[in-house]
Chain A
Amino acid sequence: MLSATGKPRSQGQDKNKNTAGAPQSEQPQVLTSKQLLFVPSLFTLAFFLLSFLPRVQGNEILVRSFWAATAVLVVWQIFMILQCRRTGETKSFILAKPRPQHYIQAMVHLSVYTYWGWYWPPVQEHALLLVAQLLFAYAFDMLMAWSRRDSYLLGFGPFPIIFSTNLFLWFRDDWFYLQFLMIAVGFMGKEFVRWKRDGKSTHIFNPSAFTLGLFSLILIFTNTTDFTWGPQIASTLSLAPGIYTYLFLGGLVVMYFFSITLVAASAAAVLFGLSALYYAVTGVPYFLDSEIPTAVFLGLHLLVTDPSTSPRTPPGRLVFGILYGLGVFALYTILSAFGAPTFYDKLLCVPLLNLSVQWIDRAVQSLRDNSTLDRMGLGVVPSRRANLAHMAVWIVFFATMTLIGKTDGKHIGDSLPFWELACQEGRPTACDRLLLLQSTYCSDNSGWACNELGAHYASGRIIPADPDRALTYFARACELRFQAGCVNLLDPSTISRTEPRVFDLRLLLRQGGQNLMDMPESELYARACEHEWAFACSNIVSTL
């Protein structure tokens, strides 16, 4: 029997105090019934049924991952139902008013998926798995909440957690059970890792950032990044034309509703500024292919900006954003130095920043009554008007960066010849970047790139000579039918090098994953010419 009342049941009232952050003014509707215990079963059943769709059936391990997750949920439900029958307890739903930080964030996330997925098909293939994760998350969250108290706050909460997690990392089908584990860890972090903030119990960490940070560390230390789509996710956002502008516009929505302008804008400004400074000093870009990698730009709008886990005061938000920018900037170098994939840079510092929010908010209290800051809208008391002013400044800043080609424009780091020249000139990190790029392209089956790597290891000019490794790269180049690789394998004492073939150019010019396999040769040479391949410029005419 389902009953609807205007107040929570008295039995669960005390425990409900722990329910994550429902505003005091809400008058939530409470549904209480013994039958409610079966609601998680409906989510579990729907989740289980998804495993029979062709997308899941195509991979045996994926099917088993679904079934294992289903089994966990079913066992947990049976245990809970038996316990409730034994004790006579009932469970309830609190139907709170939909919270904008859930549904607006989720809508912005969804719009990013839609635009990005239009240009990168794996996102479309992942859509069903997103739905599955949502069903799993609701069932898991309900069971976890009811295991600790009598009520569950039913709303859109799981949406932004699932969406923002998947915007940065998802596991390959063969390892997808780890995705369910990652989601579960995120919800457990939200449930168990809590503190008192402004007198209320609230979660410390942004749930998606917490689990992303934790799993990033594990993946780095176990060298298992290839279990995930992480590197591809980070690099393929740029396949969508004008992605920076798109993210900027989506970010404005979030900034308007949640007043996080100072966080995102200060992080972006720090990164733009440090990148420009680095380029001015060294002559090479700091980030390989952009002023701010697209995934970082996404992160500073939609990952670090969770209002519940960021500072409440405007100066606190400013500091928070600056620290995020500095953190990403530093982590990029640290990860590079350890040979770890650099795309983790935007994920690792968020949990640490979440831990610092109370300290930041307390620290900026000393700025209270500072009239200069008040005039700049940076007083400790937030104001909607000040947020609009900050948004205006951010719009002007972004527009300026776009006009000078620092966002969606062509980036100098996209050009391999640029890095070759920079390496020859002895510019900082240029040779390391060159080797990194050539290594990536060699793994992508470019015989030219493998031969270049072999030549570097054979000559020992930009890296310590390693004859065995040189032979390995020459052999790989040769097997990829790059003739110079074969003759170098025969006689490594005289190194042959030649320009990339058409096939190599189709790989070298992909910029994050575009498919250039069917591009006409004339267009390909034109593209190569734009990327400073001198030989390609003269070939354009001959292919017309």
Chain B
Amino acid sequence: MAGDDMVRVAVDQELCIGGGICEMLEPEVFELDNDIVISSVTGDGLLPRARADVVVDRCPSRAIAIVEEEL
């Protein structure tokens, strides 16, 4: 089904403002560092495309992107 294929996401740490939306939406994939308050991807950063699209779309500083398509 469309949106079920897995994609890899990444955070541009220069752009991140530590807004926390990604950690709220996908706590298994994104984690905010407590000291520098910048988001990073934990683990393999894989998400179903539909959910990746949402988190990309909701990041307030447009710091998240889909970087790699998976089969």
Question: Do they bind each other?
Answer: no
B contact set with A: CB distance below 8 Å:
none
**A residues engaging B (CB < 8 A)?**
none
